[in-house]
Structure 1
Amino acid sequence: MRLPFSIPDHDRRLIPDGRLAGIMPWIIAIMLFLTALSAATAIRLGYSVQANSSGLARQATVQLLEPDPAARATDQKRIAAWLERFPGVSAVRAVPESEARQLLEPWIGSAVEDAGIPVPALIDIAFASPPDNAQLRALRIQLVRQTSNARVDTHSSWIAPLLSFLRTILWIALSVLLLLLVATAATVALSVRAALNTHRSTIEIMHMMGSTDLQVARLFQRRIA
């Protein structure tokens, strides 16, 4: 059973060629592999940039810089309850002090607990949608009215350099993908020209017998594809 895209026998006898003959098909195969690899890298980087930017843009942390432990714990509960009623906030979590101390241990070791250094009370906030500058400004203004020792840090500002680096790598991957596509197309064009030059005498005889350029081109279409 002949496949619909296979080259007919009479066309193969008219323009004979060997499968995988020469180095050109292998060059095209390598370039297509590199193109697929670049495309996969670009897609993965694009997904990572989108996922990280959208997820971190909706998160923020409130720090309560109160040196008194009792007052700090009281302010943490009160501010957490107030934040739950703030417009646009979908989730609020008061970070335990032990967990906050563990976050500092990789930088200053166990000296935080041994020296009795006060650790700011942390409150994690998750917005329903990424807040704009006006919403963050309103949050900071109203938070200062609740307590003067509060500070709001958005997670997107901390990871902005990493996202910028990922976007740069993404554009490089897309540029490499474009260059590989252009190079592959040029290689195929060179392969077509080489095939036409190889069978120049046969094409001239076909023209002498009345064949048109379209008929000659159809002999190479499926072969080159």
Structure 2
Amino acid sequence: MLPETFLQISLLNFMRCILCDMPLFLSHHSICSQCVKNLPKFNKVCHQCCLPHSLSTDICYRCRAKKPYWDELIAVSEYINPLKKLIHHLKFYRKIELNTALARLMFLAWYQRREVDALIKPDLVTCVPLHHIRYWSRGFNQAELLAQPIARWLNRDFFPYLLSRKPTVQDQKNLSLTERIANVETLFMCHQDLSHKSVMLIDDIVTTGNTINAISQQLKKCGATSVHIVCLCRTVL
């Protein structure tokens, strides 16, 4: 057997799908095409909030009644396994090598929506900032790890510190829903003139949407023409 052939076969043993453990043809994908096809899919969701709805239009009645500050939200799946498990491994077990595989799923979800809705490429990419205490304890911002390769694939500038998070705000856990919404509205600040710029905002999980709405409001105040959210999972309330 030729040395080159032996090396290729040896490497193949280490190039396995992180979900099904089958050998991969392209190792940097980390998740095989069959597992990507088998990921839980949304049925009909609103293009703005990515929550299920039954109207014939793309926008649900909730977003029609109270339009959020962002313009479109794209998620790969609900916050369920297997992506829920992978997010936990990334955030809590420091498996930061998962970031490229998860970012690829997000990029594919955005690209599929782009094919349907003719979305334009953003002018810049940023991410939801992490509370400084969590950053110090965790050592990284998972949203930043996901955003880096997406910005590279889009060939767009990445601004990880476009936004800052104020440290002197009450803990959300101790507040009512109304107080949480008011609290988060003063939580973020944008530090750049975004006039005539479209922004892609990256996060790992969107739950209530209060955080990304407050951030989108700040981005629009700084001149952003549009804000598109791309996340890995959307919690269906």
- TM-score, normalisation: structure 1: 0.22
Larger RCO, structure (CA 8 Å, separation 6 or more): 1
Report the TM-score when normalising by structure 2. 0.21
Structure with the higher helix share, 1 or 2:
1
| Higher share in strand | 2
Larger radius of gyration: 1
